[in-house]
């Protein structure tokens, strides 16, 4: 029986995706902090040294590139949106398409990617 929509959350989608990745041997970590923000799911190569792709989980369909997705794309790896519980086909596709990624040290050495929120940028200028 499928989970009712009113109980569906991004955490449930993340957990289901993690399970699908683990089931096919794809290295996945959830809630990973990067210079672009906290990633819902980060996919890594076999020895956990390269970021292969990013997956953003949402309860609703992602139809456009949001500021959040734009920041994630600046990491230099593919960014995928995951809606509801179609995790296994996405995990398999990523595994087949992206055997190599960007070294994790390179990802973490990137400068912080700021949100395009004017109030945040103003407060940062006032602190300096």
Which of 4-8, 71-75, 103-107 comes out lowest in average pLDDT? 4-8
Quote the DSSP letter at residue 98.
-
CATH number of the domain enclosing 83? 3.40.1350.10
For the chain, what is the mean pLDDT? 82
What's the whole-model pTM score?
0.76
pLDDT for position 51? 94
Model confidence band, residue 43 (pLDDT cutoffs 50, 70, 90): very high
Task: Please give the residue range of the domain that contains residue 117.
Answer: 5-127
Model confidence band, residue 121 (pLDDT cutoffs 50, 70, 90): very low
Q: How many domains does the chain have?
A: 1
Model confidence band, residue 50 (pLDDT cutoffs 50, 70, 90): very high
- What separation, in Å, do the N-terminal and C-terminal C-alpha atoms of the chain show? 55
Q: 71, 117 in Cβ contact below 8 A?
A: no
**CA distance to 25, 56, 59, per residue, from 104 (Å):** 19, 18, 28
């Amino acid at each position: 029986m499928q989970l009712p929509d009113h109980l569906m959350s991004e955490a449930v989608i993340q957990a289901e995706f993690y399970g699908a990745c683990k089931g096919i041997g794809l290295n996945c970590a959830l809630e990973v902090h990067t210079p672009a923000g906290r990633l819902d799911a980060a996919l890594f190569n076999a020895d956990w040294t390269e970021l292969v792709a990013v997956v953003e989980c949402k309860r609703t369909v992602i139809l456009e590139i949001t500021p959040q997705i734009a920041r994630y794309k600046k990491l230099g790896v593919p960014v995928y949106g995951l809606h509801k519980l179609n995790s296994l086909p996405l995990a398999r596709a990523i595994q087949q398409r992206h055997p190599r990624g960007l070294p994790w040290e390179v990802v973490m050495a990137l400068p912080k990617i700021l949100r395009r929120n004017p109030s945040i940028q103003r407060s940062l200028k006032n602190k300096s």
